[in-house]
Structure 1
Amino acid sequence: MIHVTRTMLVPRPMEDAVTYFADFAHTQEWDPATVSCVRLDRGPVEPGARWRNLSRFRGRTSELEYCLDVRQADHLVFTGRNGTVHVTDDLRFTPASPESTRLTYEATFAFKGVARLAAPFLRGEVDRLADDVAAAVPRVTAR
């Protein structure tokens, strides 16, 4: 299992920041590994909403189906799954000022089967990806 945490400043009021991140399709904008992310269902973005996320990691492309599990005024939790990994993205929001929000982003990767053996070797690359996300979020959300 690999767990990473990054804290970043989002240049949006908290309610706007939570609304933006609740739509997981926006990962195309702030996650450099995401190639595409498409909503699989319709309706309000609330617990149970699902997305198909196509990501590129270590030169390989993988598809995960993500579900919004928790949507609160200051907290979002998404889980993504495929045959190799179970990912949990836990986002917590606190106001930094009236115009900005502090986002604490935690991601946990629980590898399945033979892929568990590779987890220790992937730690550095997952850390670099988390750093890339932390650098991209403030820039992308300033638009």
Structure 2
Amino acid sequence: MVNVERRFTVDKPVGVVAEYLKDFANAEQWDPGTRSCVRTDSGPVQVGSTWHNVSEFKGKETELDYRLDRMEPNRLVFVGENKTATSTDDLTLTPAGSGTEVTYHAHIVFHGLAKVADPFLKSEFEKLGDEVVESMTKAVENLPVS
């Protein structure tokens, strides 16, 4: 099991940040590992909405099917699964002046033989967490405020 948490502030209000992040297809813009992320259902984004994510990690392509498990004004939880791992992205949004403090928590549980890799991957996921801070900040701060 790998846990990575980052806390950072972006210069956009909570409502704008939440509206953007609730569509996991936007991970293409803020997650440096994501190569594609396509919505697999239709209608408004809501709890139960699903996406197919293709990512690259350590030079290998991996595919996960994600669902929005929790959607509140200040919290979004996405769970992605494949036969090798279950990945949870838990985003908490807190007002910080005119901006938003984002707490990003990634929790990855490996299944089967992949569990053996746990201790060796922690530092790689920590590096990816640092990259998420940079890319998510850039993506969010480029959003228009309506």
Q: Please indicate the TM-score interval, normalised by the length of the shorter structure.
A: over 0.9
Distance in 1, Cα, partners of 2:38 & 2:7 = 26
Scaled by the length of structure 2, what TM-score is found? 0.95
Please name the residue that 2:46 is paired with: 46
Distance in 2, Cα, partners of 1:7 & 1:57 = 22
Alpha-carbon shift at residue 66 of structure 1 (Å): 0.3
Scaled by the length of structure 1, what TM-score is found? 0.97
Distance in 2, Cα, partners of 1:77 & 1:142 = 21
How many residues of Structure 1 are paired with residues of Structure 2 in the alignment? Answer: 142
Distance in 2, Cα, partners of 1:113 & 1:11 = 42
| Runs of 4+ residues deviating >3 angstroms | none
Please name the residue that 2:130 is paired with: 131
Whether 2:109 is the aligned partner of 1:110: answer: yes
User: Which one-letter code corresponds to 2:96 in the other structure?
Assistant: A
* Partner SS, residue 44 of structure 2: coil
**Superposition pairs of residues 2-17 of structure 1, within 5 angstroms:** 2-17=2-17
Alpha-carbon shift at residue 40 of structure 1 (Å): 0.3
* Partner SS, residue 45 of structure 2: coil
Identity of aligned residues (%): 42
Kindly report the root-mean-square deviation, in angstroms, between the aligned alpha carbons of the 2 structures.
0.7
Alpha-carbon shift at residue 135 of structure 1 (Å): 1.3
